[in-house]
Amino acid sequence: MLHPLGQNTIRALMRQTAQPQTRARVISDFHIAIIGAGIGGLTAALSLQRHGFGVSVYEQATELREFGAGLVVTPNAMHALNALGVGAAIIETSNVSVGLLFKHYKTGEVLQSRPPGDYYKSKYGASHLLVHRADLHAALSAAVLANDPACIHLDHAFSELCQDENGVVARFANGATIKADALIGCDGYRSTVRDQVYGSTPVTFTGQISFRALVRSESLPEEIRQQAECLYVGPGRMLLHYPLRNRALMNVVAHARQDRWEAEGWAIPAQRSEFLELYSDFHPNVLQLIEAIEPNALFKWGLRDREPLPQWTLGRVSTLGDAAHPMSPFLGQGAVMAIEDAMVLGRCFAKTGTVGEALRLYETARKPRANAAQLYSREQGTNLQHIDPGRGAEAIGLFNYNPTTVPI
């Protein structure tokens, strides 16, 4: 365990923040700190609140927001979102998938197809949706704040922690210090919590870059609007598009091989001309779609990867979502796995009498599944750039899981 604050500072902080204990504590008295108000952190907060725990979420950003991009939310996550009371709000603003077509990058020939959302709903008992990230994020934050209007603390960039048998002390870049009974790092693939507990683990460039954009559907030719869910697979490149917000928007995301990448972040502005040049041999529908992207609406970034963590938890501190298992986007299951983690975390705290036992149960229940999905997603990154698009998340059995009932 790293103690980056130094032993004397730690002891002083523990004394400053220690709460007088006048009676034996039951676990529902516990206060849990969550670092990061992304999809994983907010779902974890909601899941813990639902079981009666006190939760505080600390987010580095100065406002609550998500990127303008799409997410495929599959039945395994929808079970949790329904149980947490946000399913209906998400369904209202989302699209039910009409069935994804895998197409040859140049000819547009249909190579494979996936069934429509209704098929998944009848098979797995929950919807399969195409969701705007901001809508999911807004529904989760509204539900968390409805339970506790003071739960989310913005402008709190976590910087360091220490822990002992009495609790965890965390310190933030703004100078604030808090104490909690447990701390969950939901701070994404570059997790500072993870680095604090285990030391830095290398995050490497995958050799793939991505482009993303949202296009107004009304600016697209009828043929593209009709066949709205397509994934074009080509040598070293793929491009996926699907509709959002009741078909008002078309989500475009593309991944292509590239030798080097330096810049950090999800929102690096890109030029339509460079996107067009890279995809110039793709089907004319793809080129029309790229041409319809408005100025300043195209972004690019380099995809990062990290080996799965052998251990997620140390003492009172654990990790969740991309902080535990940073997932490449090729399986469309990164946010879904974060939601599953969050649902199971709440159940584990509700089931046990100590923080240590709750976190041990959580890691045992979640690590094998999430780490396996992380590795398969990496493999799928190669599959999706050949003419044979490989097996998707359903084919490898990921939808056959209900985080609200899975034994823990």
Q: How many CA atoms lie within 13 A of 382 on its CB side?
A: 5
Residue pair 194/161 in contact (Cβ under 8 Å)? The answer is: no
Work out whether 302 is an interface residue with ligand FAD (CB under 6 A). Answer: no
- CA torsion through residues 83, 88, 90, 94, sign: positive
Q: Of the two residues 38 and 390, which places its CB atom closer to ligand FAD in the complex?
A: 38
Work out whether 332 is an interface residue with ligand FAD (CB under 6 A). Answer: yes
Give the span between the Cα atoms of 204 and 333, in whole angstroms: 20
**Look-up of token digits 């609140």:** 49
β-pairing, 230-234 vs 237-244, is antiparallel
Closest separation between CB of residue 207 and ligand FAD, Å? 15
Residue pair 87/81 in contact (Cβ under 8 Å)? The answer is: yes
Closest separation between CB of residue 26 and ligand FAD, Å? 29
Total residues contacting ligand FAD (rule CB under 6 A)? 33
Residue pair 348/356 in contact (Cβ under 8 Å)? The answer is: no
Work out whether 58 is an interface residue with ligand FAD (CB under 6 A). Answer: yes
Q: Of the two residues 18 and 142, which places its CB atom closer to ligand FAD in the complex?
A: 142
Q: Which of 206, 217, 285, 333 binds ligand FAD (CB under 6 A)?
A: 333
Residue pair 293/213 in contact (Cβ under 8 Å)? The answer is: yes
Work out whether 327 is an interface residue with ligand FAD (CB under 6 A). Answer: yes
With contacts defined by CB under 6 A, name the span among 103-111, 194-202, 323-331, 390-398 that binds ligand FAD. Answer: 323-331
Residue pair 112/389 in contact (Cβ under 8 Å)? The answer is: yes
Work out whether 338 is an interface residue with ligand FAD (CB under 6 A). Answer: yes
Site string for ligand FAD, 249-288 (x = CB under 6 A): ----x-----------------------------------
Residue pair 254/330 in contact (Cβ under 8 Å)? The answer is: no
Q: Which of 322, 340, 363, 394 binds ligand FAD (CB under 6 A)?
A: 322
Per CB under 6 A, contacts with ligand FAD among 173-232 are 186-188, 192, 210, 212
With contacts defined by CB under 6 A, name the span among 112-120, 228-236, 277-285, 316-324 that binds ligand FAD. Answer: 316-324
Helices (H) and strands (E) in the chain, counts: 12, 19
With contacts defined by CB under 6 A, name the span among 88-96, 101-109, 163-171, 324-332 that binds ligand FAD. Answer: 324-332
Work out whether 61 is an interface residue with ligand FAD (CB under 6 A). Answer: yes
Work out whether 60 is an interface residue with ligand FAD (CB under 6 A). Answer: yes
3-state secondary structure of 216: strand
Site string for ligand FAD, 27-46 (x = CB under 6 A): --------xxxxxxx-----
Closest separation between CB of residue 316 and ligand FAD, Å? 18
Q: In the chain, what is the straight-line distance between the N-terminal and C-terminal CA atoms, in Å? A: 27
Q: Of the two residues 28 and 400, which places its CB atom closer to ligand FAD in the complex?
A: 400
Burial 112-127 (b: 16+ CB within 10 A, else e): eebeebeebbeebebb
Work out whether 336 is an interface residue with ligand FAD (CB under 6 A). Answer: yes
β-pairing, 54-58 vs 31-35, is parallel
Closest separation between CB of residue 335 and ligand FAD, Å? 3
Per CB under 6 A, contacts with ligand FAD among 135-164 are 157-158
Q: Of the two residues 27 and 185, which places its CB atom closer to ligand FAD in the complex?
A: 185
Residues in the chain: 408
Q: Of the two residues 113 and 174, which places its CB atom closer to ligand FAD in the complex?
A: 174
Give the span between the Cα atoms of 92 and 96, in whole angstroms: 10
Q: Any residues with CB less than 8 A from the CB of 406 and at least 6 apart, and which? A: 344, 365
Work out whether 72 is an interface residue with ligand FAD (CB under 6 A). Answer: yes
Give the span between the Cα atoms of 9 and 261, in whole angstroms: 39
Give the span between the Cα atoms of 39 and 246, in whole angstroms: 21
Q: Which residues bind ligand FAD (CB under 6 A)?
A: 35-41, 58-61, 71-72, 157-158, 186-188, 192, 210, 212, 253, 321-323, 327, 329, 332-336, 338
